[in-house]
Structure 1
């Protein structure tokens, strides 16, 4: 039997999966990111490629659920108190960025000869950044929870809210039909009331119904029902908000926030995550399919000019707004590049404008192509910025370099380890000098009144300028093992009597630091594991004296293995590790590398 006998067309499904499996790893290997891989794959199998899919709009409608689920998961991370604390960022930074961006983007269309109404619609659509692309890129970079990432999330939330008044403006700007005596529509207060009522209803339901519902389902101990309930909450809340005239993504976000303090939060996240990943990839594929290559071929000069103009103007305005709100140069550049594209809500806005006669069908196709191309160019722009940033040294004018420092202690590296180490020294009143090459970390330190100098500890002249010759101790806390080893070698060669205390990432790094002359090396993985293991024994009721004895025995045994490996006795170390009675053996007993 063939699949057609059952009415199932397997080839499109197979092609979607194949494109994702092939394109995404390839583009990530090239350093271009998964988003561009999905977009390129969508173009390849769309109506203007292999023509596996003739109507990408139908796929896009389903794939938008990926964005919905993404916002739900983001909402789960946003506790109401945390969201309330970000209100100034959302309605301050977000609103200013949207308004200030809309004005020059509208001016681009007016200057190029288009009427004000179509120019405003085109510019306003480009203001709405792609939540899907930006959140995916932030997630790949691990910056969703960072300070800069949270500011971007706040702006994206405000932009999602702005789709409602923008759609109302489209209706207000709609031209009057010939022969009609009706004036422009006024403010639709009933629609606003329905929207507000849908949000209020969702908040009430989430606060008083969701937790009891999940409690009942959890007692039933049916795993598949919990998964179905998680999807029901996401899709139901999105649909309820959509009925009120708002965006589905906003409804899912509100539901996530309401469940962020629930005891079932982690379970919900696990249940929704697989669907989110697949549907979000499908969304990017559908966006790629939506790119009308015939329109691009016919009007490619105009499209490229508008893509360049819109992206340049929006990036410049975002940078200026970020600097006005006291973001660092690096953070402002990152935000400008990440958010310089148009977004998926622009498709909705342009479709509404076309239906009311503000723009015609050809203009809608051109604007859609502009948005899709801008989305495709964003990952490439990020790669270019990172390449330029990697080749260029930070400006001396912006980041002060060390010169003649005389601190009692010199801390090299102000990351997670260096920050904690510094607190011990400052608590005792010692004067410390700190250097680092991570300009973003230096900017963060400035916000907390920490004086961190830009300096590369692998350079001997920088070590002299940072006061290594005057310090009584140097703490090497850099992230990269090779850099830590080289810094230690330089310090012990130039200042042999100077105590050097170094952070090690693993045992191999510890051995390298010992050979380099470090007076003390501390493995972060080992020390954290010892503390965690002791806490586990305490939780299980073990006496403190016995815990201390076990900890001391494990430390002694680890030191023996370290010394054996240091002199090349790897076989003896393995025998010591596996042959003692009462000690763990087998695959589960592997030590850190």
Structure 2
């Protein structure tokens, strides 16, 4: 961040823009969860400093000179943003209530406006008086946020049949197991855990999944289960295991480092989308990995061989050999970093070993 800010300043651009660009890049990196966990203890202090800085930028004389004009501009800014964001929400398929709530929460002017106004003044694009006026308008629009949040909260509280109850995992009772993702994979895991007498906390980030689960009597809490702070609220420190059953092929051993470090006594089980993701997860031997279609494909093949009249012992022998070869190939791919490694362990490949079991 410091380097990015320094580079921007060196080329004559605001250092704040450099910090902003660096922040956007880090937000999409594998380190985002660790950064979030590191910054979380200082979040309140940083927010306080930010609002203190905003207050210091406010030119009170501009407001006192023409209060109605400034207030009208601020309200106009908020009204225009609410209209535009509401229309965008409806265009992208959100319901009217969801769109208006989102529009209210995002209606204020952005803090980056102060950076732009300062840069525009330095470039002689606007007069200092205009910069002060624009800054006052943005500041007043920010002051409407608490009131709009109250209104949005009341709208959200009026939940009808069509609304989804999105509860924070902090409301969950302490459970032995936390399952992140209650889709087609997580549902099976949760039922088996409960059948074994394990208490389960279910978390999902998809409101539609939460709504559908509630129709079948399952309480699913809302949130991004890959975030350390959310897992803490869900009781991750005292859970025996956390299952990551989400359909996300970008979950890797590296992205789960913050979770491993925060909950060292908790066992992690991760659903792998495919072989490539499984190799990335194998970098941490403390993570238990399950490829989502691996066992089901074996079971289907076994059922087919049974239908063909293959002897049960022969079926078990074939499956055992397939598992052994698959483990060997996976190990060769992991050690070499080459997806083509270990091809000879596959059945049917050009370089594969001869292996054939026939019934007597």
Structure-2 change in CA distance of 1:477 and 1:390 (3 Å): farther
- 1:470 CA displacement: 0.8
Q: 2:346 aligned with 1:574, yes or no? A: no
Q: Is 1:402–1:465's contact at 8 Å kept on the other side of the alignment? A: yes
Correspondence for 2:308: 540
- 1:380 CA displacement: 10
SS in 1 for 2:239: coil
Q: Is 2:252–2:280's contact at 8 Å kept on the other side of the alignment? A: no
CA distance in structure 2 between the partners assigned to 1:575 and 1:581 by the alignment: 6
- 1:582 CA displacement: 3.5
Q: 2:233 aligned with 1:465, yes or no? A: yes
- 1:420 CA displacement: 0.6
User: Please, which of 154, 166, 178 is the counterpart of residue 399 of structure 1?
Assistant: 166
- 1:490 CA displacement: 2.8
Structure 1: segments with no counterpart, 5+ residues: 1-376, 585-593
- 1:497 CA displacement: 3.1
CA distance in structure 2 between the partners assigned to 1:497 and 1:455 by the alignment: 23
Q: What is the count of residue pairs matched by the alignment?
A: 207
Correspondence for 2:70: none
User: Please, which of 474, 486, 490 is the counterpart of residue 242 of structure 2?
Assistant: 474
Deviations along 1:430-478, one digit per CA (max 9) or x if unpaired, are 1111111011111111112211110211211001011111111111100
Correspondence for 1:427: 195
Q: How does 1:73-112 map onto structure 2 within 5 Å? A: none
CA distance in structure 1 between the partners assigned to 2:303 and 2:102 by the alignment: 42
CA distance in structure 2 between the partners assigned to 1:430 and 1:399 by the alignment: 24
Deviations along 1:414-440, one digit per CA (max 9) or x if unpaired, are 000111111111112211111110111
How much is the aligned-residue C-alpha RMSD, in angstroms? 3.3
Q: Is 1:409–1:430's contact at 8 Å kept on the other side of the alignment? A: yes
- 1:491 CA displacement: 2.0
CA distance in structure 1 between the partners assigned to 2:214 and 2:228 by the alignment: 25
SS in 2 for 1:469: coil
SS in 2 for 1:566: helix
Q: Is 1:501–1:518's contact at 8 Å kept on the other side of the alignment? A: no
CA distance in structure 2 between the partners assigned to 1:390 and 1:540 by the alignment: 58
Structure-2 change in CA distance of 1:383 and 1:569 (3 Å): closer
CA distance in structure 2 between the partners assigned to 1:573 and 1:432 by the alignment: 39
**Taking structure 2 as the reference length, what is the TM-score of the superposition?**
0.51
Structure number with higher relative contact order (C-alpha < 8 Å, ≥ 6 residues apart) = 1
**Taking structure 1 as the reference length, what is the TM-score of the superposition?**
0.32
Q: 2:266 aligned with 1:557, yes or no? A: no
Q: Is 1:409–1:471's contact at 8 Å kept on the other side of the alignment? A: yes
Correspondence for 2:272: 504
Structure 2: segments with no counterpart, 5+ residues: 1-86, 107-151, 158-164
Q: 2:225 aligned with 1:453, yes or no? A: no
User: Please, which of 486, 507, 519 is the counterpart of residue 287 of structure 2?
Assistant: 519
Q: Which has the larger radius of gyration?
A: 1
Deviations along 1:112-135, one digit per CA (max 9) or x if unpaired, are xxxxxxxxxxxxxxxxxxxxxxxx
Correspondence for 2:211: 443
Deviations along 1:481-533, one digit per CA (max 9) or x if unpaired, are 22465663332122223211111110011111222455311111222211111
